[in-house]
Structure 1
Amino acid sequence: MLRWTSLLAALTLALAPSPDGANAGGAAQPAGAIEPPGPDLPPAGRSLFDELFGADADGASRLPFPFPALLQRIAQQLDAGQPSGGLSVVLIPLGRSLQRHAAGDVDAFRHPRVVAAVTGEPPAAAPPGHPYLRDRLYVAYHEKAAALEVISYNEAAGRFEFQLVRNYREGAAPEPGYANRTLCLACHHNAAPIFSRQSWDETSASTPVAARLAATGLPYYGLAWRHGVDVPDAIDTAAARANLLGTAQRLWREGCAAPDRKAAVACRAEALRQALRHRLTDGRSTTAERRARRPALVEPLLANWRQRWPAGLAIPDPSLPNRQPFAGIEGGRPQPSDDELRRYADIAAAFDPLALRAPLETWPGRSAADAGRFVAALSMFFSRADVAAIDRALSVLSASPAAATARAAERGNPALAALADGRMASIRHIALSCSGRKTTDHGRLDLDCAGADGARLQARLVLKAGMATGGTADRLVLPGNDAIGAVALKPAANRRQRAGAETMRFIPDRGGRTVRTAGGEAIRRIDIPRPAANAAAPATATLELVADLAPLDVAIDRLAQATLAGRSDALDDLPLRRSALLPALLTDLGTPAPAPPSAAPSAPRLADPPAARDGAWPPELQPFARQCGQCHAAATAFPPGFLRGGDEQVRGRIAACAERMLFRLAMNARPPAARPKTPMPPPPPPMPRPSRNRPTIRR
């Protein structure tokens, strides 16, 4: 009886506010620092993982086994020329996940947890409608648990989904399900991926960890696990980008909200316009000066920001403190014994992901700079291939305006057709005075060119057999200190750049895309006079700039009109979705995109459905059910499901766990710095208010 009394008293004490601030678990957090969990099942759509591997409508599984086969399927969606093929993989034998004890601490290095994250882009020529996995798909595999832990994005719901796949073993039928979000968000405060800060000493990039992994002699599924810190760094960076997707969605929906639906749609249309310009110009279009000249977004956004988040919008921290499992091992000592491994597997309070983390930063929402942060985060919803497709469509339209506008008129786009008056692609030129120097073998021409208002071009041109075969602009600065940076110079198609020709013509290129000014103009070409016998003699180079973004503006305006007319919901009070935006934009730009697949997926299921009870909880068990039930009612070993089963079973488990429970609850009374273990987590934040009903869509 004394033990029950002590437990109930400890629960009451843990939930009471601490006057001296020692109870960090109950301390008020800045708005937005801890995300509310929301429903376990997707409120709309499904996860990217389910889109790739979910069961068909008849229930047949599409999940490959073994694990390398699953990774190979993911890699097929990525550009293989990127570092690690765009798929970064590390081994973590002594980590901090709920599966860390699945192999037993002694066998942790024989059966390490494998963590894979998509950190790269799809191929540049990926067709419209391709799945965008970068920063949006994370899979962890533990062989001894026969389980996958998955975090992947759901664009229809505007959130990351947390999933478990159990029974993932040879010859078995995998059992995927959506996880308990309250349990997941006890560590994932940002409702998104989390990862350690540098120098990632728990991973296979750490020398002591790698040495013990190598000592086992195991192949670890044939994975390329020997690597440097660049691989965990890529995962860390991906998690940091993913951390901003939720903030971008919040600002998209709430920051642009307005009583007047037309004003809200106009705000989102301008946010989309600026986000795409941000990507097309490699981020140079969102300077404070340029944002101030486009008040259609800045003014309503900042007004809403001040009203909804007067103290600023807190950005959750996705980073855990770096943990060195072997910090106590001195140089030259042998590898740890099994008993030492058990001790090293223990997670101290300072490194526990359960510990509440202060916000990473706060966006105050007081200036155009904060609007620029929103635009930059919003631009991450589009893949490199998406931007390249828009860029190609704009190039085609500007190269042949008459034909393009005729096609637009045929397709019922009179606004785009009206651009035939010359506004589709206005052209201007920049002249630069150049001096050059040939190398002694006449194989290269080095140019240094300068123009008005700080314009500068420094380039190296390759000459072979009297023909210019390409080169590099090491420095390109346009008037007004618009620093383009280094770009490749490709010979213009179908033109022989012989030394005898009057002009050598080059097309600036950056990763297969058009190089643009901060204002969005395309640098169509650079004409450079042929090198004279005296290469140092002054000559004039000419840059041709084309203002070709007007069709994109028209396409966005048409999308806003379609939203207001009920023919689309792309700019309504819903999460931002590529699948709703890109097909409409590309179609208006003359590049029809395929409609999203309409195959009916299987119904989502919970990984751990709540257990049904025959009756009410007895009075002495009600405090445990109320405060612990969201995390400890499932049939799991971690966290222990002591509330599973009948009343007598629950009483027995609580009695067996009482000493540990009292210890963890007592941590609430200690100052954070004096806690050897993290306290029991506080109750979750309140659920957000539901949004208004979805608008009716006319088909």
Structure 2
Amino acid sequence: MVAAGRRIALAACAAFAVLGPGAAGAQPPVTALDEIFSPDKGGVPYPFEALVKALEDRIAPARLRTALVPIGRSLQRFGADPDYFGSPRIVIAVDSDPADGPALKDRLFVGYQPAAGIVEAISYSAASGRFEFRTVEDYGSGKPDLFTPAERDICMRCHQGGAPIFSTPLWGETNGNAAIAARLKPLGTTFHGVPVVQGIDGPDAFDQAVERANGLMAASWLWQAACPDGDAGGACRADLLGAVLRFRLGGDRATSTDAALAASLSAALGSAEPEGFALADFRIPSRDPSLQLDAGAAPGDIVQAEGVFDPETPRARRVLFETAGDAAAIADAAIRTLAPLTTDADIALLDRHLSAASGETRRFESACLSKTVARGGDRSEIRFTCATNPAFSISGFVVTAGGAVSEGRIDTLAVAGETPLNRLKIDPDRSAIDGRTLTLALVQANGLGARLSSGDRLSPLELALDEPWDATMARIAIHDDGARLSAALAGLAERPDSVLAHGPFRRRAIMSAIIAALAGGT
């Protein structure tokens, strides 16, 4: 039975063919992996330690997430037979983005079986709106090492959602399991550039990257399903992207969604996915081979998984959100699901461009009640509540020391017609004291300047003080960035060659077009 199972698995490995440059069909879509390891850039680094270093150099000071899997369930599970612990499979996840170049966070996963000389990769392509499967066979054989497309149908037998998969906690097959790590210790401290022994935090971080990658796959599918083709589709996608960008600019806080957009999304998704928006489950039940090994089993006798432990066994759908019921709730869930389409760097750049331009400004002020409390030495805490203006109220505290702002927090800030903001930080590095006026920079948890749910930007808060440092008046200005962003997106949707046409979310092209539109370009 074991031998038969092994023959089946090896046949599957043999079927893991690659499409060479001369194969029929369309040009394979370009992924981030293809960009950084293209032939004109030297191809895939060899040995594997060099590939690991090349990736870590890109994301420094962040580190790659890795795991060693001696008895796993991949197509290469028999590659090290019979010395499974002498050549464990290496898996790598990139969960940080480089300072420049293509986005890699949760978009690139690499596997390597040294004994088989095979490198496999799953890399996201904005051009196709999905993860692409790549492989290098005979890695290091002397011929040029290049990633080439793998046979997708074979890959999809296990990767049923078209994205990376991993086991459930506590990841018993990996070197996050102390019993497995102990059997790997003869390899030394590192194996082909990755740690041999690590705690549970390693596979946990890998698992989180896999979950986010599947979220990206869900976002990509949802972007193409949420709006129709034609002119109406372009306007729908402009409104939808505006809602997503306001959500991201606001630190992933809920935004107020236009009722017409909410109704359109609810109808489209209810028709496309009446049982709820879902993907195939990306987690396979964990198993701990050390238990059977300790009982005397040979590695080759337990490597073949069966039943629910076999990644080729069909898995249940994982429902991300319901598509029936309240339209506003469905729209909110859709916007949250779409958020991974943009990177943190995209949002930081958009924030800078919105903040750099002038526009319409609303100004508010409110008188305050306050109390000053000595904190020891030259430190004082000013606690304030400003609520005399029905259109603007604010409460919080600020600590001063040595004539400068040292810390502080806004507990609540409310503007008429907007969702109230809670627990904003006061950034001391961007705040100042000038005589009896405190200028306080308000920032969100993501480090960006505070914004309302509409996307409108808050200026620094001014507290005008009276002796003995009691706050008497709070003043703030609100800039209409939300309207400017909506206008830019609407203009893009009207173009004949619009980047908002139906199709995959081409992140770099779309974000570049938005920045150009905000700057007055074409």
Per the TM alignment, residue 149 of structure 1 is displaced from its structure 2 partner at its CA by 0.8
- Match of residue 63, structure 1, among 44, 50, 75: 44
Per the alignment, residue 48 of structure 1 pairs with 32
Structure 1 residues not aligned, in runs of 5+: 1-38, 330-334, 402-421, 594-699
Matching of residue 505 in structure 1 with residue 439 in structure 2:
yes
Q: More displaced, 455-464 or 572-581? A: 455-464
- Specify the SS of the correspondent of 1:439: strand
- Match of residue 301, structure 1, among 261, 265, 270: 265
Per the alignment, residue 244 of structure 2 pairs with 275
% identical aligned pairs = 29
Per the alignment, residue 177 of structure 2 pairs with 206
Per the alignment, residue 682 of structure 1 pairs with none
* Counterpart-to-counterpart distance in 2, 1:252 and 1:219: 42
* Counterpart-to-counterpart distance in 1, 2:138 and 2:424: 51
* Cα separation, partners in 2 of 1:327 and 1:429, compared to 1, 3 Å: farther
Letter in 2 for 1:360: R
Q: More displaced, 62-71 or 131-140? A: 62-71
Letter in 2 for 1:560: A
* Cα separation, partners in 2 of 1:432 and 1:86, compared to 1, 3 Å: farther
1:396-407 aligned within 5 A? 396-398=356-358, 401=359
* Counterpart-to-counterpart distance in 2, 1:491 and 1:549: 26
* Counterpart-to-counterpart distance in 2, 1:481 and 1:300: 23
Matching of residue 393 in structure 1 with residue 365 in structure 2:
no
* Counterpart-to-counterpart distance in 2, 1:318 and 1:520: 34
- Specify the SS of the correspondent of 1:528: strand
Q: Deviations over 1:240-262 (max 9, x none)?
A: 2222333333332233115xx11
Matching of residue 514 in structure 1 with residue 491 in structure 2:
no
- Match of residue 438, structure 1, among 374, 394, 406: 374
* Counterpart-to-counterpart distance in 2, 1:40 and 1:244: 32
Letter in 1 for 2:330: D
Letter in 2 for 1:507: A
Count of aligned residue pairs for this structure pair? 494
Letter in 2 for 1:557: A
* Counterpart-to-counterpart distance in 1, 2:425 and 2:26: 44
Is the Cα contact below 8 Å between 2:176 and 2:198 reproduced in 1?
yes
Is the Cα contact below 8 Å between 2:111 and 2:120 reproduced in 1?
yes
* Counterpart-to-counterpart distance in 1, 2:171 and 2:400: 43
* Counterpart-to-counterpart distance in 1, 2:424 and 2:231: 42
Letter in 1 for 2:236: C
Per the TM alignment, residue 539 of structure 1 is displaced from its structure 2 partner at its CA by 4.1
Which structure: greater strand fraction?
2
Matching of residue 349 in structure 1 with residue 307 in structure 2:
yes
* Counterpart-to-counterpart distance in 2, 1:521 and 1:553: 11
Calculate the TM-score normalised by the size of structure 1: 0.65
Q: More displaced, 47-56 or 447-456? A: 447-456
- Specify the SS of the correspondent of 1:579: helix
* Counterpart-to-counterpart distance in 2, 1:219 and 1:427: 59
Q: Deviations over 1:279-300 (max 9, x none)?
A: 00112243xxx22xx0342222
Is the Cα contact below 8 Å between 1:583 and 1:592 reproduced in 2?
no
* Counterpart-to-counterpart distance in 2, 1:516 and 1:40: 51
Per the alignment, residue 94 of structure 1 pairs with 71
* Counterpart-to-counterpart distance in 2, 1:235 and 1:388: 25
Q: Which has the larger radius of gyration?
A: 1
- Specify the SS of the correspondent of 1:201: coil
Letter in 2 for 1:441: G
Per the TM alignment, residue 343 of structure 1 is displaced from its structure 2 partner at its CA by 3.8
Is the Cα contact below 8 Å between 2:239 and 2:486 reproduced in 1?
no
* Cα separation, partners in 2 of 1:540 and 1:94, compared to 1, 3 Å: farther
- Specify the SS of the correspondent of 1:485: strand
* Cα separation, partners in 2 of 1:492 and 1:248, compared to 1, 3 Å: closer
* Counterpart-to-counterpart distance in 2, 1:230 and 1:184: 28
The answer to which structure, 1 or 2, has the higher relative contact order (CA under 8 A, 6+ apart) is 1
Per the alignment, residue 485 of structure 1 pairs with 423
Q: Deviations over 1:181-206 (max 9, x none)?
A: 11111111101111112222222222
Calculate the TM-score normalised by the size of structure 2: 0.85
1:259-338 aligned within 5 A? 261-286=230-255, 290-291=256-257, 294-328=258-292
Is the Cα contact below 8 Å between 2:28 and 2:149 reproduced in 1?
no
Per the alignment, residue 493 of structure 2 pairs with 560
Is the Cα contact below 8 Å between 2:44 and 2:146 reproduced in 1?
no
Per the alignment, residue 316 of structure 2 pairs with 358
Q: Deviations over 1:418-464 (max 9, x none)?
A: xxxx3xx4344455533231212123525353537895543352413
Is the Cα contact below 8 Å between 2:219 and 2:339 reproduced in 1?
no
Is the Cα contact below 8 Å between 1:188 and 1:194 reproduced in 2?
yes
Is the Cα contact below 8 Å between 1:326 and 1:344 reproduced in 2?
no
Matching of residue 473 in structure 1 with residue 415 in structure 2:
no
1:406-417 aligned within 5 A? none
- Match of residue 461, structure 2, among 510, 526, 535: 526
* Cα separation, partners in 2 of 1:316 and 1:458, compared to 1, 3 Å: same
Letter in 1 for 2:80: A
Is the Cα contact below 8 Å between 1:40 and 1:181 reproduced in 2?
no
Aligned-CA RMSD value: 3.0
Q: Deviations over 1:604-662 (max 9, x none)?
A: xxxxxxxxxxxxxxxxxxxxxxxxxxxxxxxxxxxxxxxxxxxxxxxxxxxxxxxxxxx
* Counterpart-to-counterpart distance in 1, 2:33 and 2:111: 12
Structure 2 residues not aligned, in runs of 5+: 1-22
